Amino acid sequence: MKKWVGLLLVLGILGCSVEADNSFYIDPNLNAEFLGEVEWIKNFGGSGEETAQAVIPTTDGGFAILGYTNSTDGDLVGKSLAVNDYWLLKLDADGNLQWNKTYGGSKDDRGQSLAQTKDGGYILTGYAMSDDGDGSNNEGFHDNWILKLDASGSLEWEQSFGFSGHDHSYDIIETQDGGYFFIGFLDITAARADGFTEKGHYLTRHGVGEFWGTKLDAQGNMEWRRYFGGTNNDRAHAVVQADDGGFVLAGFSESDDFDISETKGSYDFWVVKITGLGELVWERSFGGSGIEISYDIAKTNDKAYVVTGNTFSDDTDVSNNKGESDFWLIKIDDNGNLLWEKTYGGTQFDAAQGVSASWDGGYFLAGNSKSLDIDATYNGGENDLWVVKTASNGDLLWQKSFGGSGLEYGFDVLENPDKSIIVVGESASTDFPELENKGMSDVIVIKIR
């Protein structure tokens, strides 16, 4: 999802390489192993509300984090309006804040995903209501808002894409040809009212919402856009580029018609593969009779994919439900066939938000947990940020919860070349161990070695 472009750049600097078949080679001198020990925890914010939605490694060995904030004080620089703006934080390798910048206008603007670009800058996506400040246009409610920045965070260009309804973007990647591809949700009812008639496949009429993918060139000009879905609510949350140049989109679907076949329940994980020009290759639904929502996808080192989110089911594709809602991780091949699935959690509500492939063939998951039993061994109160490490077959190897008496959420995780991990999210607790709360909710960053 969000991590691969920046990670590949870091690998080049640190002596790691990616072979022609896209399998990973690790310098044998990097013989560290993951110990599950916390190296540091940092929080950032002001007196208002902050969240971190995505983290990537940067070419200088540090990290860049994207989220949004409505604070005007504390760690915030140059922000005067108490409304949500995109918030980009640049940290060094030790988690020290080097610089931070906000982007937005006078309305609600929420950053969701970023990638470091080949020129050392950044590409950001999210959804925005503003048509002033840094934003030049808005068609109504939220639009997909794309920003290209240089290496110091200065704005190079911005583009808004949307119609009169709510259109949200959740993920963006730099593509093999040097352009960009972003995905999210299209309010098709409003779009049709605005005269939008494009379709990514053979159908022309859909319903409430759609998977929406847009391809841009390197200057931000739209090359093509496609939507996929049925008559109900369908949303894409994450995307990776396939080895063949196509794209694999993951999210959820409530529909059982039009582009969507062989549904399992009320809401399913829905995974779609399209060509590099946006033509539908295959689509698959995964789940049980209950509700499943996927939030992230990652490529594996054996040319497959893992998709994660949460499940309420205990039947059909879901073999073991631990409680109310569990982390659910599935692995599929490049043809969309289910290879295996695993659940993680306890008897309360647990939901995964991010997944990263590990050097050893396993996976790291980040999300939130209310449980204090079965797979979860600690809970500080309410939601805790929960991190899980699995083996290559999905077996649980390690887990750890972080939190205080308030609400904590984990949204993204990446593995570093030294096999440590960085986890980002938000914390609203005033008694989070070793941290001093700065406001209503803070960005939280955790390094675990």
Report the DSSP pairing between strands 268-274 and 97-103. Answer: unpaired
Give the chain's length: 449
Rg (CA), the chain: 20
Specify which residues 160 forms β-bridges with: 145
**pLDDT (tens digit per residue) in 330-347:** 999 999 999 999 999 999
**Nearest by Cα to 310 from 406, 217, 383, 207:** 383
Geometric angle at alpha carbon 368, from 365 and 374, rounded to 5°:
85
Report the distance separating Cα 67 and Cα 197, nearest Å.
33
More confident residue, 195 or 29: 195
pLDDT score of 12: 36
pLDDT score of 165: 77
Report the distance separating Cα 374 and Cα 400, nearest Å.
13
> In the predicted model, is pLDDT for residue 408 greater than 90?
yes
> In the predicted model, is pLDDT for residue 13 greater than 60?
no
CB 38 within 8 A of CB 446: yes
Average the pLDDT over 293-299 and give the result: 98
> In the predicted model, is pLDDT for residue 1 greater than 70?
no
The two tokens of residue 240 are 């990776």
Q: What are phi and psi of 27, to 5 degrees?
A: -55, 125
**pLDDT (tens digit per residue) in 101-120:** 999 999 999 999 999 999 99
**Nearest by Cα to 143 from 158, 130, 157, 124:** 130
**Nearest by Cα to 297 from 445, 428, 397, 171:** 171
> Hey, which bits of 255-383 come out as E strands?
268-274, 280-286, 292-299, 305-311, 326-332, 338-344, 350-357, 363-369
pLDDT band at 15 (very low <50, low <70, confident <90, very high): very low
CB 81 within 8 A of CB 71: no
| 449 CB burial (10 A radius; 0-12, 13-18, 19+) | middle
302-327 burial by CB neighbour count: b if 16+ within 10 A, else e? eebbbbbbbbbbeebbbeebbbebbb
DSSP 8-state class, residue 192: H
Q: What are phi and psi of 190, to 5 degrees?
A: -70, -40
Q: What is the CATH number of the domain that holds 92?
A: 2.130.10.10
- The set of residues, in sequence order, having a beta carbon less than 8 Å from that of 271 and lying 6+ positions away, is 248, 249, 250, 283, 284, 286, 294, 297, 305, 307, 332, 336
CB 99 within 8 A of CB 152: yes
- In the 3-class helix/strand/coil scheme, how is 286-306 assigned residue by residue? ECCCCEEEEEEEEECCCCCEE
Q: What are phi and psi of 191, to 5 degrees?
A: -65, -40
**pLDDT (tens digit per residue) in 153-199:** 999 999 999 887 788 999 999 999 999 999 998 766 555 545 555 54
Average the pLDDT over 304-317 and give the result: 98
> In the predicted model, is pLDDT for residue 288 greater than 50?
yes
Strand order in the sheet with 363-369: 350-357, 363-369, 384-390, 396-402
pLDDT score of 186: 77
pLDDT score of 32: 78
Specify which residues 425 forms β-bridges with: 410, 444
Task: Report pTM.
Answer: 0.91
How many domains is the chain built from?
1
Range of the domain at 314: 4-448
pLDDT score of 160: 96
Specify which residues 251 forms β-bridges with: 236, 270
Geometric angle at alpha carbon 235, from 233 and 241, rounded to 5°:
150
